[in-house]
Structure 1
């Protein structure tokens, strides 16, 4: 099993919205991918409630293989969400590992 974890620090204001609105929008859009991309085994998106930390949104997802992860990452629905996230983020970090 492959675990794919991504965290984003968001801009205070982007795409005409504040950080909280954009965090919620990322959550909605990413979680909707479960119904569109069959390779996703599990997906959770959390919005940080701890103001002392620098990252605002975290994605936790699971895939059966690196091939499934690759299909997910190249899927048009994921690419659409990624394009939006790219316009509202300041920073991104990612970890993929086998469990």
Structure 2
């Protein structure tokens, strides 16, 4: 089993309303993916509630293999969901590790 965790930082110049809208839309889109990508074993998007922290969004997911993570990343439905952050994302960090 592979744990796939991704952190996103949104651009500083976004208003609070813009940040909330972008984060909510991203969360809804990502959490809808298991219905269309059957090899996602678990997926959850956490939205940062602490403005003193660096990262705004945490995507926490699990897959059977690293190959499944790669297939998920390339899947058109994932690409569409990830595209919701285009123009809003300042930075991204990722780690994949075996459970």
- Give the TM-score of the pair, scaled to structure 2: 0.91
Alpha carbons 1:3, 1:96 under 8 Å: kept: yes
Shift of 1:73: 0.8
Question: Where does the alignment leave 5 or more consecutive residues of structure 2 unmatched?
Answer: none
Question: Where does the alignment leave 5 or more consecutive residues of structure 1 unmatched?
Answer: none
What does residue 51 of structure 1 align with?
Answer: 51
What is the alpha-carbon root mean square deviation over aligned residues? Answer: 1.4
What does residue 91 of structure 1 align with?
Answer: 91
Give the secondary structure class of the aligned counterpart of 1:87. coil
Give the secondary structure class of the aligned counterpart of 1:38. coil
> Paired residues, what number?
97
Alpha carbons 2:72, 2:78 under 8 Å: kept: yes
What does residue 75 of structure 2 align with?
Answer: 75
Alpha carbons 1:39, 1:71 under 8 Å: kept: no
In the TM superposition, structure 1's runs of 4+ consecutive aligned residues that sit over 4 Å from their partners are: none
Give the secondary structure class of the aligned counterpart of 1:13. coil
